[in-house]
Amino acid sequence: MPGEFTFDSGRRSTRVMVRPGIRREVPISQDRRTLVVVDQSVSDSFGKDVAESLQAQGVAVATFSIEATESAKSLETVGRILDAALAHRLDRGGVLVSVGGGITGDLVGCAAALHLRGVEVMHVPTTLLAMVDAALGGKTGANRPLPDGSLGKNLLGVFWPPSCVLVDVETLSSLPDRERRCGLAEALKHGLLRDPDLLTFIRDHRDALLSAEVDACDTLALRAGQIKASVVAEDAEEHGVRAILNLGHTFAHAIEGEPGLAYQHGEAVGLGLVAAARLAVVLGQASESFLEEVRSDVHSVGLPVTMPEAPRGAALLDRMGFDKKNTASGLRFVVPTPPCGAVVQSDVPEDAVVTAWTEVGVNFS
């Protein structure tokens, strides 16, 4: 189901277009210098498609490839993008275009905010996770090591929303199955927050989504993207309600930073959703049946619901202290409120958090 929508992303209006083949239709006029920054894993395919289409329109375009991994999601990589923009003589009327997943979009968005104090950015997401979530919100950033040497997720960055997001689900057929499963974690989150019917759609079309069937993925990208956009439009720079979009992420970011674990972001979010559901039960905001439903939904799309590695609980609790939602009064958690919604809560007892962690296999002995 191709479609498009526009929403107020704070600093500007963001147009989202969902249509097969649209990666070859980036709307940039020929008088604007453009730098296409592409995840090196798709440089010879989707990056080439975007660059060649712009060249055919007469745009002065250059291409720059980056390593799109969590370890390379750093200020150093942002600096390399900025150097490429300067080498291409990208002026304040120029455009940076990202082609890749969420890491690529975050880094390119950050560079766009910094280059000449701000130039336009557009995203061409090539992963399901980026299509339904990361490319839409205007958050940019980089990781930074914590004092203990572990990974601090997205601790650096600014809000710099894209002018345009071009969602072409044809790119999903090239993804490993694991990547498609990861994208469904964020879609499940959106359904839990705002649209139970989206959860039903994912259950009913799970096999089509996991096999990257175009019609099913188009519909998912459009519906999940509209949910994300509706929250961002209410609170673009996360002074209030937008924080609910972090459902499961306080747990997920701690998991991703744990040395010795190798969970991708969507896998960690799936685990975080299960932990957040247990937290809601402990706090009296949800029933056991809600927890079972969340666990079933996460498991049914092939995501883990427990960690057989049994990581150390003390280290994960400590890492939570660096979460961006925290205030001087302590940790803040996004707690689901079924049948649909969530609240941000700061007075969560530590024993409740321990119980939530234990639900997904964390060891506190």
Q: Tens digit of pLDDT for each residue in 61-116?
A: 999 999 999 999 999 999 999 999 999 999 999 999 999 999 999 999 999 999 99
pLDDT tens sequence across 107-166: 999 999 999 999 999 999 999 999 999 999 999 999 999 898 888 899 999 999 999 999
Pick the CATH number of 3-175 from 3.40.50.1970, 3.40.640.10, 3.40.190.10, 3.30.60.50: 3.40.50.1970
- Please state at what angle helix 265-282 crosses helix 350-359, rounded to 10 degrees: 130
Q: What mean pLDDT, rounded, does the chain reach?
A: 95
Cβ 25 vs Cβ 18: under 8 Å: no
pLDDT tens sequence across 41-50: 999 999 999 9
- Mean per-residue pLDDT for 290-312? 96
Indicate the domain borders of the chain.
Answer: 3-175, 247-359
Token couple for 11: 């600093």
- State the Cα–Cα distance between residues 255 and 35, nearest whole angstrom: 34
User: Topology of 247-359 in CATH?
Assistant: Dehydroquinate synthase-like, alpha domain (1.20.1090)
Q: How confident is the model at residue 319 (pLDDT cuts 50, 70, 90)?
A: confident
Nearest to 108 by CA among 131, 139, 70, 133: 139
Report the greatest alpha carbon distance in the chain. Answer: 64
- The pLDDT assigned to 151 comes to 86
Chain centroid to CA 4:
20
Query: CB count, 10 Å around CB of 21?
Result: 12
Percent pLDDT > 90 in the chain is: 89
Provide the residue type at 103 as one letter: I
- The pLDDT assigned to 328 comes to 53
pLDDT tens sequence across 20-41: 999 999 999 999 999 999 999 9
- The pLDDT assigned to 257 comes to 87
Per-residue CA distances from 255 to 250, 267, 306, 318, 320 (Å): 9, 10, 12, 12, 9
Q: Is 310 helix (H, G, I), strand (E, B) or coil?
A: coil
Q: Does residue 323 register a pLDDT over 80?
A: no
- Helices within the chain (DSSP H only): 48-56, 75-87, 102-114, 128-129, 177-194, 196-204, 206-210, 214-234, 249-256, 265-282, 288-300, 313-320, 350-359
- Mean per-residue pLDDT for 291-319? 95
- Buried b or exposed e, range 156-175, using 16+ CB within 10 angstroms: ebebbbbbbbbbbbbbbeeb
Q: What angle do CA 252, 65, 267 make, to 5 degrees?
A: 15
Q: Are strands 34-39 and 61-66 parallel, antiparallel or unpaired?
A: parallel
Residues 6+ apart with CB under 8 A from 316: 254, 255, 258, 357, 362
- Mean per-residue pLDDT for 310-316? 90
